[in-house]
Amino acid sequence: MPMTLCPCFGDRNTDDDEPADRDPVLLVSGMGGSILNSKPKKFGFTTRVWVRFFLADLEFRKKIWSVYNPDTGYTETLDQKSDIVVPEDDHGLYAIDILDPSLFTKCIHLTEVYHFHDMIDMLVGCGYKKGTTLFGYGYDFRQSNRIDKLMDGLKAKLETAYKASGGRKVNLISHSMGGIMILCFLSLHHDDFVKYVNKWICLACPFQGAPGCINDTLLTGLEFVDGFESYFFVSRWTMHQLLVECPSIYEMMANPDYKWKKQPEIHVWQKQTKEDGESNISLESYGPVQCTSLFDEALKNNELTYDGKTVSLPFNFDILEWAAGTRKVINNAKLPDGFSFYNIYGTALDTPFDCCYGSKESPIEDLTDICHTMPEYSYVDGDGTVPSESAKADGLEAIARVGVAAAHRELLRHERVFELIKKWLGAEPTDTKKSKTSKVADADAVKPMVL
């Protein structure tokens, strides 16, 4: 075995090993879970724009800021000289493994960008072989989960895995929004799903939306990393100016037709001044349907400057209409008879649900000021991003639903999750080393639930 001098030079090569008898596995990432590159249309160097830590905000603004085209349904970059592409290296696994694969990131082992990395290692240790029984599907997560390019890409990847393994059906493992995309594929390409897919293990999917996270994303933006590292990363507002034009975000808004235990709301302490000069302070509340009027008012002056030109970015009602169509597609998804579906969801973390802007002492006078105001949240149980209520409400016949006390992205490397995956795939490690014991108490599967 070669000597390893630094963690960035780990050996994951298993080409000399005899592959175990395994059905193929396809790993499907979620929102922000794929490397995105900017590739010049004519000539020049391809640049990684997501994820990167050095010059992150600058390159993001230059290469990936986009606007939605209602005629095509696609979100298109403002940079007319390049295209956004997802690398296909390592049978699709490279794009979802370490999201910033720079030497610096590998050497310090920055956990936030080690995405499917540990799961890939676990599966390789269980006898899966890249390109034969192990594949990845990264995609342009700006786009709608039902857009043709993503659907065609998933079909092609399933067909590749099916053929490479000698005609064996594929086991899907999805994370977060990847589950929404698979539901769209199930609904729109049902025959292909039946032909190619054997089992589906779903992690942390916002089946009914992620209200607190998505509502605040549309109003103030989103940060993918916390603490000191955030200073080297894409800023919250820079990210906002992209996501407000992304159908994928609108498709994860709270489902207004779902019977929530309590309807998610946005609260605004608002100061209104009458003609006689007297002012009134009141707490206004907006539910899943009413919140669109708030988004419309709060974002009416939202704009960015690109290449010397001003681009208006209000709340996009064309995208909202498209997202409503996606919800109909999802509602029509039906699993084949006898299909094996498993759902793992995160628990035990405070997860944003309601957002409140302003306070009685410091109310909002102009609703456009909300976009520069940090909210106070009310919390429910979940993984810190997706409420467990939403993640459990898949509306499908499940073999098991299991809650694991872990954060949204932590589920991708959690020992309890790995134990469940190995059990459901029927795959144990091919070496003699004992697997680590989970430090999280067992969470028994609940009975199948049809919604």
CB atoms within 10 A of CB 281: 16
Helices 148-164 + 178-188 axis angle, to 10? 90
Q: What is the pLDDT of residue 111?
A: 85
Q: Which of 165, 174, 176, 388 is catalytic?
A: 176
Q: Which of 34, 383, 390, 414 is catalytic?
A: 383
Q: Is residue 432 part of a domain?
A: no
Q: Which of 91, 115, 408, 414 is catalytic?
A: 408
Q: What is the pLDDT of residue 105?
A: 83
User: Does residue 383 have an active-site annotation?
Assistant: yes
Q: What is the pLDDT of residue 190?
A: 98
Where does 328-442 show beta strands of DSSP type E? 340-347, 349-357, 376-382, 400-405
Q: What is the pLDDT of residue 278?
A: 87
Report the CATH number that the domain containing residue 85 is assigned in CATH. Answer: 3.40.50.1820
**How many domains is the chain partitioned into structurally?**
1
pTM over 0.85: yes
What single-letter DSSP state applies at residue 435? P
Q: Is residue 57 part of a domain?
A: yes
Q: Is residue 383 part of a domain?
A: yes
Contact 27, 203 (CB under 8 A): no
Contact 137, 29 (CB under 8 A): yes
For residues 55 and 242, what is the distance between their CA atoms, to the nearest angstrom? 17
Q: What is the pLDDT of residue 450?
A: 25
Q: What is the pLDDT of residue 434?
A: 40
- Sequence-distant (≥ 6) Cβ neighbours of residue 246 within 8 angstroms: 66, 68, 75, 141, 142, 143, 319
3-state SS of 333-360 is CCCCCCCEEEEEEEECEEEEEEEEECCC
For residues 135 and 213, what is the distance between their CA atoms, to the nearest angstrom? 30
Q: Is residue 354 part of a domain?
A: yes
For residues 204 and 206, what is the distance between their CA atoms, to the nearest angstrom? 7
Q: What is the pLDDT of residue 224?
A: 72
CA 353 to chain centre: 17
| pLDDT in single tens digits along all 451 residues of the chain | 344 444 444 445 445 556 689 999 999 999 999 999 999 999 999 999 999 988 999 999 999 999 999 999 999 999 999 999 999 999 999 999 999 999 888 888 788 899 999 999 999 999 999 999 999 999 999 999 999 999 999 999 999 999 999 999 999 999 999 999 999 999 999 999 999 999 999 999 999 999 999 999 999 999 876 665 655 689 999 999 999 999 999 999 999 999 999 999 999 999 998 877 788 999 999 999 999 999 999 999 999 999 999 999 999 999 999 999 999 999 999 999 999 999 999 999 999 999 999 999 999 999 999 999 999 999 999 999 999 999 999 999 999 999 999 999 999 999 999 999 999 999 988 754 443 333 333 333 332 222 2
Q: Is residue 224 part of a domain?
A: yes
Distances from the Cα of 403 to the Cα of 117, 209, 231, 303, 441, angstroms = 22, 18, 33, 41, 10
User: Does residue 276 have an active-site annotation?
Assistant: no
Q: What is the pLDDT of residue 442?
A: 32
User: Does residue 408 have an active-site annotation?
Assistant: yes
Q: Kindly report the CA angle at 248 between 242 and 249, in degrees rounded to 5?
A: 65
Residue 37 belongs to what domain range? 25-425
Q: Which residue in the block uniquely carries the two structure tokens 């640049």?
A: 47
Q: Is residue 19 part of a domain?
A: no
Q: Is residue 449 part of a domain?
A: no
Helix (H, G, I), strand (E, B) or coil at 112: helix
